[in-house]
Amino acid sequence: MLSYRPLRHTFVLLAVCLACLTSISASGQVSASLSGRISDQTGAAVPEATVTAINMETGVSRTVVSNPSGWYQLLELPIGRYEVHASRVGFAEEMRKGIILVVGQDANADLTLQVGHVKEQITVTENVPVVNASTQDISGLVGEQQVRDLPLNGRSFDLLLTLNPGIVNFTSQKTGGTGVSNSSTGNNFAVSGNRPQQNIFLLNGIEFTGAAENNMQPGGPSQQLLGVEAVREFNVLRDSYGTEYGKRPGAQVIIVTQSGTNQWHGSVYEYLRNNALDAPNYFDQGSAPPFQRNQFGAAMGGPLRKDKAFLFANYEGFRQNLHQTSVAFARQPYPAYNPC
């Protein structure tokens, strides 16, 4: 009987909680950017227009002024849902809703101001296009809805990496025992033909490693990455990426955790697996061996101070009792040698 009580996960989840105390990311690797051009009805540039992006989840806003060519740029915006307002004296205010920024995205949102009274406002509801011509690559994005809704055996979110082309789950091919120099406590993935040792995982911009010497893939004694409720989304950069990424030539897996918002939300959950419907194999005597797996926990997030500071906490426990049938082959010993 094996009982997994991964103490390491407790420290990981505590680190996740501390990282989620604020909604503003400390690194551009886990954020997005928004840029565009402000013009009038004739297509001419509108300089010195005030552009404000408001995060609809936290209420945090950023404001810039367009340059003489009408261009504006907002860098290192926390991912989430946004409204963008553009205004200038002598023009009606333009507001664009429905903008969803994801990790690593360099989005473009142009706005057109119409001549009118200051109190007038024009609202456009439209998301920014996913395809962009910049070096930022979001083609490997596994979004919030996919992380939360797709079924996962063991609730290990890294298993969703294989949703992207060119990624193979290499776990069954690893050699050596768990945690030794040629193995890893977590799942292994070969990306675009690279070895699993050449991947790097970044959790909120900080290198997230495992316990092995070479295969620094994160994981615990249960071989799972727990905490699906605490993961918002992740992006897999496979081949070409900007100079802000490096160290290893394989995949750059950028993981972003959940954050609190201006409204309190929480959940309590438990997932159970057992051997009730398992069929015995050829070597089992009678019924299938006993097996019980419980994954349980709770998550909660909300404001510590509205529009200023936020809290998100998640705890997930893992308990497993696993019995396995072993097969041994005994060799008939040779008869003792008797020279007489």
* Mean local confidence (pLDDT), 29-35: 85
According to CATH, the topology of domain 2-23+137-322 is Ferric Hydroxamate Uptake Protein; Chain A, domain 1 (2.170.130)
Q: 3-state SS string over the chain?
A: CEECCCHHHHHHHHHHHHHCCCCCCCCHHHEEEEEEEEECCCCCECCCCEEEEEECCCCCEEEEECCCCCEEEEEEEECEEEEEEEECCCECEEEEEEEEECCCCEEECCEECCECCCCCEEEEECCCCCCCCCCCCCCCEECHHHHHHCCCCCCCHHHHHHHCCCEEECHHHCCCCCCCCCCCCCCCEEECCCCHHHCEEEECCEECCCCCCCCCCCCCCCCCCCCHHHEEEEEEECCCCCCCCCCCCCCEEEEEECCCCCCCEEEEEEEEEECCCCCCCCCCCCCCCCEEEEEEEEEEEEEEECCCEEEEEEEEEEEEEECCCCCCCCCCCCCCCCCC
Split at pLDDT 50, 70, 90, the class of 285 is confident
Query: Is it the case that residue 335 has pLDDT exceeding 80?
Result: no
* Mean local confidence (pLDDT), 278-285: 85
The two beta strands, 206-207 and 200-203, are antiparallel
Split at pLDDT 50, 70, 90, the class of 130 is low
Question: Which CATH class for the 28-125 domain?
Answer: mainly beta
What is the distance between the alpha carbons of residues 22 and 40, in angstroms, rounded to a whole number?
Answer: 37
* Mean local confidence (pLDDT), 125-138: 58
Split at pLDDT 50, 70, 90, the class of 340 is low
Query: Is it the case that residue 171 has pLDDT exceeding 70?
Result: yes
Percent of the chain with pLDDT over 90: 38
Contact 179, 171 (CB under 8 A): no
Split at pLDDT 50, 70, 90, the class of 64 is very high
Structure-token pair, residue 333? 């010993």
Query: Is it the case that residue 204 has pLDDT exceeding 60?
Result: yes
User: What average pLDDT does the chain have?
Assistant: 81
Q: How many CA atoms lie within 13 A of 250 on its CB side?
A: 21
Would you kindly state where each structural domain of the chain is located, as residue ranges? 2-23+137-322, 28-125
Split at pLDDT 50, 70, 90, the class of 270 is very high
Split at pLDDT 50, 70, 90, the class of 278 is confident
pLDDT at residue 298 in the model: 95
Q: Out of 180-189, 233-242, 253-262, 264-273, pick the least confident.
A: 180-189
* Mean local confidence (pLDDT), 125-140: 61
Query: Is it the case that residue 126 has pLDDT exceeding 80?
Result: no
Question: Which comes out higher in pLDDT, residue 44 or 181?
Answer: 44
* Mean local confidence (pLDDT), 175-194: 69
Provide long-range contacts, Cβ within 8 A and 24+ apart, for 237-245.
237/104, 237/137, 237/140, 238/140, 238/164, 238/166, 238/167, 238/191, 238/192, 239/192, 240/135, 240/137, 241/135, 241/137, 242/135, 242/136, 244/28, 244/29, 245/29
The two beta strands, 111-112 and 31-39, are parallel
Query: Is it the case that residue 6 has pLDDT exceeding 60?
Result: no
Query: Is it the case that residue 276 has pLDDT exceeding 60?
Result: yes
Query: Is it the case that residue 214 has pLDDT exceeding 70?
Result: no
